[in-house]
Structure 1
Amino acid sequence: MLEKTITSPRGTVHYWIARHRDPQAICLVFTHGLTANHLMFEHQVAYFKKHYTVITWDLPLHGASRPYMDFSFHHTATDLDAILAQENISAAVLIGQSLGGYASQQYALDFPEKVLAFIGVDTSPFGLTYYSQSDRFWLRQVEWMSRCYPHDQLLSAIAKGATHTKRGYDNMMAMLKPYGKTELCRIMGIAYASFLRENQDAAFKFPVLLTLGEYDKTGKVPQYNWAWAAKTRYPLKIIPSAGHNANVDNPVVFNAVVDDFLDQLP
């Protein structure tokens, strides 16, 4: 993977690309979840770069893409579009895990003609009707509640809550390591506040696949996915022996599910 950057007045965003030798190869863009970074897709990069151009990136506020000012999902969409423009990629398949699914959906709303398909990985839907007043209230409390934990306990709680396997836990802990407690809590507060502010109803005309870890216990993510699938008729695939970071917990099954979906694209 070749590391590259794009820069705006908000900050510098880092991304990594493995370009397939076939210039007509489809591009897959993997976007990680909250407080993680591009390293959560190591198993996907190794598998899919054989047949696709693959891009991973550190979302603004995360990993190498910090410091960053004025975070919003509209800005993440603008940054991703700048990455694709810099690489002369006209359209891509978006694969977003958790918060990365929000960023992917926002990109799809802002640049629908540039999206070939969307794969949600233990993420949640854009749409006003999915979230109750209670849901919105508790999302606003995440930052101050997280501050109540000692730093080491907070890191362990996040990693345990997001994973089902030792591989997943170790990967999440490695991604959390660079963050101090104040920064970590602030990132969570900013991200959820942005979602509550920018969430809107969405209907996508391109193919969509939803995936969900069998043991995902992050908030109401399972309930949101079942409601999302029921309302839209998007296929929902359960990844066995996996938690919220399903692509890390069980990469073999996850990659096979994604591969099958990609094979069916026009």
Structure 2
Amino acid sequence: MNEKTYTTPLGVIHYWVHMISADDFTLVFLPGLTADHRLFEKQISFFEGKYNVFVWDAPAHAASWPFTFDFDLMDKARWLDGILEQEGITKPVIVGQSMGGYVGQAYSEAYPEKLKGFVSIDSAPLQRRYMTSMEIWMLKRMEPIYRYYPWKSLLKAGTEGVAVTEYGRKLMREMMLVYDGDQKRYAKVAGHGYRMLAEAVERNLAYEIKCPALLICGEQDKAGSCVRYNKAWHKSTGIPLEWIKDAGHNSNTDQPELVTSLIAKLVEGMR
């Protein structure tokens, strides 16, 4: 994987890419909120050399810092499109975990003709009808909770709350430790992310997925209402839903082989 950068008016985005053929599908891995490119290390290791592969540190995350917190979900989708154009990627298959799945839906809204495939991992639909007014209200007010919660307790809750395996928890802890000693930044990253999500939902756009797609959710996902959202998403749209046994919110780290095989199956079926 080659590390590259993309300059925006608000900061520089770092990303990693390995291209085999611009004419083939590119797996575009988008990590969740406060996670970074390492979230997909198992998937990258499997797919590199078989497919074009891309992953980023989202704006303000990890290496993509410093960054001004003056952007929304559609800005992230536009910057992602700019990066894909910069790399000559014409057949993106977005694989988004949690917040990465929301970016994928925003990308689908902005560039429906460009997106060739979509995999949601422990994410949820952006359509307004799925979320309650109380949930939206809470999302806009998360930053103070993260800022004043004792860091050691936050680190423990953040790692044990998203994964059930030793590997998954260890990896999440390592990614959270990027912000060790700067809890204010961590709180800002998280709080801004949740506000972006709430505002995207409130826009009440279609966010329709028109390409081949798959929903993946850990059976033990306890992050928000992901399980409820995915059941409703599947029922409403008919997009296939795969439940991952012995997996939490980061199901691709708890059961990497299974999740990787599901991604591969979707892409192979598109060829």
TM range (shorter): over 0.9
Question: What SS does the corresponding residue of 2:270 show, helix, strand or coil?
Answer: coil
Give the deviation of 1:141 after TM superposition: 2.9
Question: What SS does the corresponding residue of 2:139 show, helix, strand or coil?
Answer: helix
Give the deviation of 1:207 after TM superposition: 1.1
Partner of 1:156: 156
Question: What SS does the corresponding residue of 2:187 show, helix, strand or coil?
Answer: helix
Correspondences of 1:222-261 after superposition (within 5 Å): 222-261=227-266
Partner of 2:67: 68
1:212 paired with 2:211, answer no
Q: Distance in 2 between matches of 1:122 and 1:263?
A: 22
Q: Distance in 2 between matches of 1:138 and 1:6?
A: 33
CA contact (8 A) 2:4 2:15 kept: yes
Question: What SS does the corresponding residue of 2:113 show, helix, strand or coil?
Answer: helix
Deviation track 1:1-20 (CA, whole Å, cap 9, x = no partner) reads 10000101111000001112
Q: Distance in 1 between matches of 2:270 and 2:90?
A: 17
Q: Distance in 1 between matches of 2:140 and 2:82?
A: 31
Partner of 1:184: 186
Partner of 2:127: 127
Deviation track 1:24-83 (CA, whole Å, cap 9, x = no partner) reads 321110000010000000000111123210000011011111121212111111111111
Give the deviation of 1:23 after TM superposition: 4.0
Partner of 1:9: 9
Partner of 1:40: 39
TM-score, with normalisation over the residues of structure 2?
0.94
Whichever residue aligns with residue 167 of structure 2, its letter is R
Q: Alignment RMSD, CA only?
A: 1.2
Correspondences of 1:94-113 after superposition (within 5 Å): 94-113=94-113
Unaligned runs of 5+ in 1: none
Q: Distance in 2 between matches of 1:101 and 1:205?
A: 15
Q: Distance in 1 between matches of 2:239 and 2:58?
A: 26
What fraction of aligned residue pairs are identical, expressed as a percent?
Answer: 37
